[in-house]
A and B are shown apart, each in its own frame.
Chain A
Amino acid sequence: MDWDTQYELMKAGRPVTVAGPSHITRSDHTRHDSDEGDIPMGLPSRDQEGGRRRADFLVDEEEVILTPLEQLTRHWMNERHAPDILPAQEDLLTSLLDHLRRQSEAVQLLREDPSTSEEEHIRIMLVQTEVERVKFIVRSYVRTRLFKIEKYARFVTTNAEVQRRLTAAELDHASRHAKITDQHFYVSVLQGLPEKQSHLDDTPLFVPPMVTEPDKSRPVFVHALKQCPRIRLPDGAALDMEKGHISLMPYAVVEQLVARGEVELI
C-alpha cells in the first residue's frame, strides 16, 4: 500500500494496520470478560497495532504498515536529513495532535478523580510519559521545517514548486519572514548603496546567486524500504537498490524515491 492510499484510509477513519498474531489478542481470548470494557483512556483499543510487530529481530520490519506515530518518526528523520523541504504531512499531524489532546484530556479527568487507585496512577504516569515523547517528536518535526523555511524564505516566495509542499501557515510565515528581513536589510544597509547594488536578488555574471537555495547535491544516507527502481548515479553508473540496502549518495539522486516513500533517510 502506498502513502497516498494510507492517508486516504486514515482520513476515512479506517485503522491503517494489519492484524497479526499477537500476545495481546491471545490474552484477550483468555480474559475476554475482565478486559473488554477496561481501557480507561477513552480510546478505541488498538490491539492490532500492538501485535503486528516482527517476531525475529533481524527481519526488517518494513513489511508491515506503520502506525501514525511511526510514520511521523520517519517523516521527522527524513526532514532532518534532507537538504530540501519535504511535502507537509498535514493530515497525519492533525490526527496525531487530536490523539494527543484526547489522551491528555483523559489523563486530566482521571487525575481529578479522587477515587483513582495506586495502580491507576502508574497507568496515568505511563500515558503522560508517552504524551510527552510524542509531543517532543511533533515539536522537533515542526521546528525542523520552520528552520528550513526561514533559511530558504526568499527562495520559497519565488518558487511555486516548493510552495506546493508547504501548508498555508508555513507559506504565510515564509513570506512574512522574507518581507521583514528584506525591509531590515534595506533600512540598515541597502538604502545607502548605489542603485545597482541595492537589491537582494541581483544576478551579476560569474557570481553565485544571492538567494539561498537548498543544496540538493548534499550527500545523504539512504535506507531502501523495498526493491527500488533503477537509479542513475552522478558518475553515470546504474544502481538497483535491494530492500534493506544502505548507501551514501547525493540527495538529488534519491529525491523521487524519498517522495514516494520507497527509501528513508537515516
Chain B
Amino acid sequence: MALPQSLRASVIPPELELIASQQLVEIVPLISMEKTAFISGAYGPFRPPNKAKIPLWMAVNLKLKKKCHIVAPAWLNADYLQERLTEETLQLSFSKLPFRFTEISKVILDVASDDLENPDKIRSLLKDLREARQAKSREGLKTLDHSELSLPNLCSMEINEIRPYFVQSMSILTQLVRNPAPDPLPNV
C-alpha cells in the first residue's frame, strides 16, 4: 500500500518532530567548521566559542557527538514557563506559546538536558502546562458544532492529539444536520 494504515488518519508525533527540527537554534560549537551549503540554507562557519545558528536536527547530531552545546530558546526556562503556567490556570483561554514548543522542548530535554538550567523543574512545568491545556481542550469539545470551532493558540502537538475525536465528532454532527431525523409523530 502506498501509505501505511497507521499514517492515514493523521500525522504522527515523530513526523511533527521532523518538521520542528528544521527550526533554528543557537549553539556554542566545540569544533570549527567552514560555512557549508545545505538544501535548507548555508550554515556556519563555526568558530568556537562564538555562537552559531543552525537547524535543531543538526544541533542534536553534533550534541550527541559532544561537539556543541545547545543554547536553550528564550522560552525554554523555568521562569518563563512558570509565568505561562500561572496564566494558563488563571485564564480561560490558552496562553501563547511557540507553535511547536512541545516537539522542540522534548528534543532538547532528551539530548541536551545538561545544557539547561534546572531541567527537572522545566520538565515538571511542561507537564503541568500540558495537563492544564489538555483540560481546556476537552472543555472545547462541549462547544463543538457542525460548522466551525476556533482554537486560538493551540499548538501543533495538541491539535494532533485532539484530531481523531474532534474530526470524528464533527463529521457525525455534519451528518446529523444533513439528514435530520424525521419529526416524531404528532401527538394524537
Name A residues whose Cβ lies closer than 8 Å to a Cβ of B.
Answer: 23-24, 27, 31, 34-35, 38-41, 43-47, 49-51, 53, 57-58, 67-70, 73, 77, 80-81, 96, 99-100, 103, 119, 122-123, 125-127, 129-131, 133-134, 136-137, 140, 143-144, 146-147, 149-150, 217-221, 233-235, 237, 239, 245-250, 253, 266
Interface of A is mostly: helix
Instruction: Please give the distance in Å from B24's CB to the nearest CB on chain A.
Output: 5
Q: Which residues of the partner chain B approach A217 to less than 8 Å between Cβ atoms?
A: 171, 174, 178
Q: Which of B31-76 contact A (CB under 8 A)?
A: 31-45, 47, 50, 52-53, 57-58, 61-62, 65, 67, 73-75
Residues of B within 8 A of A (CB): 1-3, 7-8, 11, 15, 18-19, 21-22, 24, 31-45, 47, 50, 52-53, 57-58, 61-62, 65, 67, 73-75, 96, 98, 144-154, 156, 159, 163, 166-167, 170-171, 174, 177-178
Query: What is the distance, in angstroms, from A246's C-beta to the closest C-beta of chain B?
Result: 5
Selected contact of B96 from candidates A34, A50, A58, CB within 8 Å: A58
Across-interface contacts of A70 in B (CB, < 8 A) = 22, 40
Kindly list the 8 A-B residue pairs having the minimum CB-CB distance in the complex, ordered from nearest. A50-B41, A147-B3, A49-B41, A146-B2, A147-B2, A235-B147, A43-B37, A219-B170
State whether A41 touches B3 (Cβ < 8 A). Answer: no
In the complex where A136-B18, A234-B177 touch, is A31 in contact with B45 (Cβ < 8 A)? yes
Q: Is the CB of B40 within 8 A of A67?
A: yes
Among residues of B, the one whose C-beta sits closest to the C-beta of A56 is B74
Given A39-B36, A217-B174, A250-B170; 17 other pairs, CB 8 A cutoff: A34-B34, A44-B37, A45-B35, A46-B37, A49-B42, A57-B98, A80-B7, A100-B39, A129-B61, A143-B2, A146-B2, A147-B1, A220-B167, A234-B174, A239-B148, A246-B150, A247-B150
Residue of A nearest to B144 (CB): A248
Q: Given the complex, which residues of B lie within 8 Å of A129, measured CB to CB? A: 57-58, 61
A238 to chain B, nearest CB (A): 11
Residue of B nearest to A60 (CB): B99
Tell me how far the C-beta of B152 lies from the nearest C-beta in chain A, rounded to whole angstroms. Answer: 6
Residues of B within 8 A of A43 (CB): 37
Give the nearest-CB partner of A142 in chain B: B2
With beta carbons under 8 angstroms apart, the residue of A51, A136, A140, A247 that contacts B151 is A247
Give the chain A neighbours of B34 by CB distance below 8 A.
Answer: 34-35, 38-40, 123
Beyond A73-B22, A133-B57, A218-B167, whether A150 also contacts B2 by CB under 8 A is yes
The smallest beta-carbon distance between A28 and chain B, in angstroms, is 8
Q: Which residues from A are CB-within-8-Å of B144? A: 248
A-B contact pairs, 21 of them (CB 8 A): A24-B42, A27-B47, A31-B45, A35-B34, A41-B37, A41-B38, A50-B53, A69-B22, A77-B11, A81-B11, A96-B39, A103-B38, A119-B31, A129-B58, A130-B57, A131-B39, A137-B18, A149-B2, A245-B152, A248-B166, A266-B159
B residues in contact with A133, CB < 8 Å:
18, 21, 57
Enumerate chain B residues within 8 angstroms of A218, measured Cβ to Cβ: 167, 171
Distance between Cα atoms of A149 and B2 in the complex (Å): 10
* Complex CA distance for A43 and B96, rounded to whole angstroms: 39
Residues of chain B within 8 A (CB-CB) of A69 are: 22, 39-40
Q: Are B19 and A127 in contact (CB under 8 A)?
A: no
Known interface pairs A234-B174, A248-B166. Does A146 touch B45 (Cβ–Cβ under 8 Å)? no
Asked if B150 and A245 sit within 8 Å, CB to CB, the answer is yes
**Within the complex, which residue of B18, B33, B42 is in contact with A45, where a contact is CB–CB below 8 Å?**
B42
**Bound-state Cα–Cα, A131 to B73, Å:** 26
Judging by beta carbons under 8 Å apart, are B8 and A50 in contact?
Answer: no
Contact partners of A126 in chain B: CB under 8 A: 36, 38, 58, 61-62
Option from A67, A77, A127, A146 in Cβ contact (under 8 Å) with B41: A67
CB-defined contacts of B47 to chain A, threshold 8 Å: 27
Q: Smallest CB–CB gap between A26 and chain B, Å? A: 10
Set B1, B24, B96, B148: member contacting A248, Cβ < 8 A: B148
B74 with A57: CB separation less than 8 A: yes
Q: Which residues of B contact A266 (CB under 8 A)?
A: 156, 159
Nearest chain B CB to A119's CB is how many angstroms away?
Answer: 6
